[in-house]
């Protein structure tokens, strides 16, 4: 994924995230954060069901 795509995905999951702030991070850092957010989302789904 490109840096822009990573930022878009992060903003979709974390509505309070600002693209301008996320742009300061490297693609590697953004990818790690997105993976973390996706893990949290899966955990929330398991807890809700």
Q: Is the pLDDT of residue 42 over 80?
A: no
Per-residue pLDDT at 4: 98
Given a cut of 70, whether residue 49 has pLDDT beyond it is no
Question: Is it the case that residue 10 has pLDDT exceeding 80?
Answer: yes
- Predicted confidence at residue 21, as pLDDT, reads 98
DSSP state of 12: H
40 falls in which pLDDT band (50, 70, 90)? Answer: confident
What's the rounded Cα separation, in Å, for the pair 46 and 18?
27
State the Rg of the chain over Cα. Answer: 11
pLDDT at 27: 98
């Amino acid at each position: 994924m490109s840096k822009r795509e990573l930022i878009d995905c992060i903003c979709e999951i974390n509505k309070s995230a600002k693209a301008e702030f996320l742009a300061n991070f490297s693609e590697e850092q953004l990818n790690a954060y997105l993976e973390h957010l996706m893990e949290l989302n899966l955990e929330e789904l398991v807890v809700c069901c």
